[in-house]
């Protein structure tokens, strides 16, 4: 990744080199201080530029723990930072777009789990086009298994080929190769990173029994919200055929109409989010099997 | 009289509900007829092609969409798929439903794309989005194959790789055309289209 620094006006690389070289003979202490001050200022400003309209997505990867432990797993934290008003797509059933992919290159014996996705938001465009997207930032978690025989003290590099489609008023595809070096140790030296803990807290969890009173009524599947909360249903690609998720998938109570497919309706698969009065959002995984239609249950 | 009024109101409500429910053009349904002009001003009328016994392929198009570039520039999926059946009474029409001012809109841009992508079929301009909405076209590209009886026999993606850069292994439109041109049945008649959203106006 390129690094652009804010440098003092009039700064020229050649002049700096000769200046440092010349001063080294005459005033080493002053030079050392100057160089230290200069490097300090330069490094402070020498971070990657933020995402912008020309380069709308920046990707970094980190880990939950500073070190990997043989025989255990470590979590990769893929962070996608987006420029203002741009969005990335979720893996939910979308009418358009393309969700980011990570193709991880692993050393022998290492294993990688799937990507874990936080809840997205519904994004409705002209023409009844419904997508599920992220704005500003997307953080994905991915567990990686460290082999039990991985040598302690070694450092292992993992590289991911990342591909995405970012959209604002138009769409721009992007690709990047992102690497991370993981030192291997006998045990973790500190707690997991704040970034991984925060990302984990946002991940959807299975819908607890009884919450939202999920149930079938004929060809409709109901989620009943509590007072003041707003529910959203975001189907996954393997969800049954919904009649009109744009209308049915958002509101204080949801009555999702399903089209019969043969003698069944459903399954109901996706995420349900609950936006409380105060604005906090909880996300749950909904997974209910297809229902066999009896003659008297159709059309309800 | 009162009964008639009730029937009329009922029929109107039913029609509104059907539209509001968002019924899609499913395989087996009649393709909505349309007349549109291409970038050179020539009119294309679906029914005229059908009356001539032709099979019609519709491709929703936006020259600046990365997925269109994937199939028109990085690869020549559309040109090559059409070229293989061009002499078998098949018509391929690209339709651009981008509203004025939105990505890929405008006569000039599409005239240029026709040359840039060396397209061997016309681009029809649907700036108000009327035809796009009638077909419920969601993405560019979004593909429809209509047999010579005017029935939609395929609705969905061009292939099985939704990436903006990688090509699929299975070309669904090619398979559908091969089936109907040999008198067979289209086995995979519906898939989820993929691409950029069609840039409709309000």
- Over residues B134-178, the pLDDT tens digits come to 999 999 999 999 999 999 999 999 999 999 999 999 999 999 999
- Other C-beta atoms closer than 10 Å to the C-beta of B86 total 14
Q: What architecture is the A57-203 domain classified under in CATH?
A: Sandwich (2.60)
pLDDT given at position A294: 80
User: Mean per-residue pLDDT for B17-42?
Assistant: 78
Task: Give residues with Cβ within 8 angstroms of B76, minimum separation 6.
Answer: B118
Beta bridge pairs of residue A165: A173
Contact A97 B165 (CB under 8 A): no
Task: Give residues with Cβ within 8 angstroms of A260, minimum separation 6.
Answer: A219, A293, A298
Contact B138 A98 (CB under 8 A): no
pTM: 0.84
B107 closest CA partner among B123, B128, B118 = B123
Could you say which residues of chain A have pLDDT below 70?
1-48, 295-300
pLDDT given at position A49: 75
Contact B194 A96 (CB under 8 A): yes
Distance from CA of A260 to the nearest CA of B (A): 14
> What would the pLDDT profile of A168-219 be if each residue is shown by its tens digit?
989 999 999 999 999 999 999 999 999 999 999 999 999 999 899 999 999 9
Where do we find the tokens 């050179």?
Answer: B40
Where do we find the tokens 């059946």?
Answer: B85
- Other C-beta atoms closer than 10 Å to the C-beta of B71 total 25
pLDDT given at position A296: 63
3-state secondary structure at position A242: strand
For residues A284 and A119, what is the distance between their CA atoms, to the nearest angstrom?
9
pLDDT given at position A31: 41
What is the percent of chain B with per-residue pLDDT over 70, rounded to a whole number?
88
For residues A135 and A288, what is the distance between their CA atoms, to the nearest angstrom?
29
> What would the pLDDT profile of A20-55 be if each residue is shown by its tens digit?
222 333 344 444 444 444 444 444 444 557 899 999
Strands (E), B9-167: 35-38, 43-45, 55-60, 90-96, 123-125, 139-140, 143-146, 152-156
Instruction: Show which residues on chain A lie within 8 Å of chain B, measured between beta carbons.
Output: 93, 95-98, 101, 125-129, 131, 163, 165, 167, 169-173, 175, 237, 243-244, 246-247
Residue B143 domain flag: yes
Token digits of residue B59: 């491709």
Whether B17 shows a pLDDT value over 90: the answer reads: no
For residues B64 and A42, what is the distance between their CA atoms, to the nearest angstrom?
40
Domain boundaries, chain A: 13-39, 57-203, 206-292
Torsion sign, CA atoms A116, A119, A125, A127: positive
Distance from CA of A277 to the nearest CA of B (A): 29
For B22, the closest of A96, A128, A169 (CB atoms) is: A128
Residue B5 domain flag: no
Residue B35 domain flag: yes
Q: What residues of B are in contact with residue A170 (Cβ under 8 Å)?
A: 64-65, 103, 196
pLDDT given at position B25: 87
Residue B165 domain flag: yes
Residue B127 domain flag: yes
The model's confidence at residue B133, banded by pLDDT at 50, 70 and 90, is: very high
Residue B8 domain flag: no
Beta bridge pairs of residue B96: B125
What is chain B's Cα-based Rg? 18
Q: What residues of B are in contact with residue A172 (Cβ under 8 Å)?
A: 66
Whether B20 shows a pLDDT value over 60: the answer reads: no
Residue B15 domain flag: no
Contact B133 A127 (CB under 8 A): yes
Closest Cα in chain B to A174: B164
For B103, the closest of A165, A169, A173 (CB atoms) is: A169
Whether B23 shows a pLDDT value over 90: the answer reads: no
How many domains does chain B fold into?
Answer: 1
Domain coverage including residue B60: 26-197
- Which has more confidence, B17 or B127? B127
Closest Cα in chain A to B165: A173
Q: What residues of A are in contact with residue B197 (Cβ under 8 Å)?
A: 95-97, 125, 127, 129, 131, 167
Contact A96 B22 (CB under 8 A): no
For residues B15 and B12, what is the distance between their CA atoms, to the nearest angstrom?
5
B104 closest CA partner among B195, B34, B35 = B195
- Which has more confidence, B196 or A2? B196
pLDDT given at position A226: 85
CATH code for the domain of B155: 3.40.30.10
């Amino acid at each position: 990744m390129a690094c652009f620094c804010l440098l003092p006006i009039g700064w020229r690389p050649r002049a700096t080199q000769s200046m440092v070289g010349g001063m080294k003979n005459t005033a080493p202490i002053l030079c050392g201080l100057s160089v230290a001050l200069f490097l300090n200022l330069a490094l402070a400003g020498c971070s990657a530029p933020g995402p912008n309209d020309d380069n709308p997505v920046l990707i970094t990867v980190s880990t939950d723990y500073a070190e990997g432990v043989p025989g255990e797993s470590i979590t990769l934290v893929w962070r996608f930072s987006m420029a203002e008003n741009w969005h990335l797509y979720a893996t939910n059933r979308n009418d358009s777009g393309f969700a980011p992919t990570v193709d991880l290159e692993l050393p022998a014996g290492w294993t990688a789990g799937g990507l874990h996705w936080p809840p997205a938001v519904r994004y409705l465009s002209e023409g009844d086009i419904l997508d599920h997207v992220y704005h500003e930032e997307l953080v994905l978690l991915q567990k990686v298994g460290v082999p039990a025989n991985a040598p302690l003290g070694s450092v292992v590099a993992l590289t991911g080929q990342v591909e995405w489609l970012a959209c604002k008023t138009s769409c721009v595809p992007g690709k990047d190769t992102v690497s991370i070096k993981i030192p291997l140790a006998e045990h973790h030296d500190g707690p997991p990173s704040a970034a991984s803990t925060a990302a984990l807290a946002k991940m959807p969890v299975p819908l607890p029994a009884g919450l939202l009173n999920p149930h079938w009524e004929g060809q409709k599947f109901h989620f009943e919200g509590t007072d003041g909360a707003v529910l959203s249903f975001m189907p996954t690609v393997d969800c049954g055929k919904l009649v009109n998720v744009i209308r049915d998938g958002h509101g204080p109570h949801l009555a999702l109409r399903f089209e019969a497919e043969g003698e069944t309706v459903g399954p109901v698969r996706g995420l349900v989010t609950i936006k409380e009065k105060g604005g906090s959002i909880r996300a749950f995984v909904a997974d209910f099997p297809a229902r066999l239609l009896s003659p008297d249950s159709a059309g309800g | 009289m009162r009964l008639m009024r009730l029937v009329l109101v009922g029929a109107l409500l039913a029609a509104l509900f059907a539209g509001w429910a968002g019924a899609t053009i499913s395989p087996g349904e009649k393709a909505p007829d349309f007349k549109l002009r291409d970038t050179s001003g020539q009119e294309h009328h679906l029914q005229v092609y059908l009356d001539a016994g032709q099979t019609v392929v519709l491709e929703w198009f936006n020259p600046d969409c990365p997925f269109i570039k994937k199939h028109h520039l990085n690869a020549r999926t559309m040109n090559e798929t059409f070229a293989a059946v061009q002499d078998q009474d098949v018509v391929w029409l690209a339709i651009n439903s981008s509203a004025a001012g939105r990505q890929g809109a405008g006569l000039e841009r599409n005239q240029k794309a026709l040359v840039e992508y060396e397209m061997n079929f016309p681009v029809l301009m649907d700036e108000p989005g009327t035809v796009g909405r009638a077909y419920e076209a969601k993405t560019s590209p979004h593909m429809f194959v209509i047999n010579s009886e005017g029935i939609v026999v395929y609705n969905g993606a061009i292939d099985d790789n939704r990436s903006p850069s990688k090509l699929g292994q299975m070309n669904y439109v090619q398979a559908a055309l091969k089936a109907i041109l040999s008198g067979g049945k289209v086995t995979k008649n519906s898939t989820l289209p993929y691409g950029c959203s069609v840039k409709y106006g309000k």
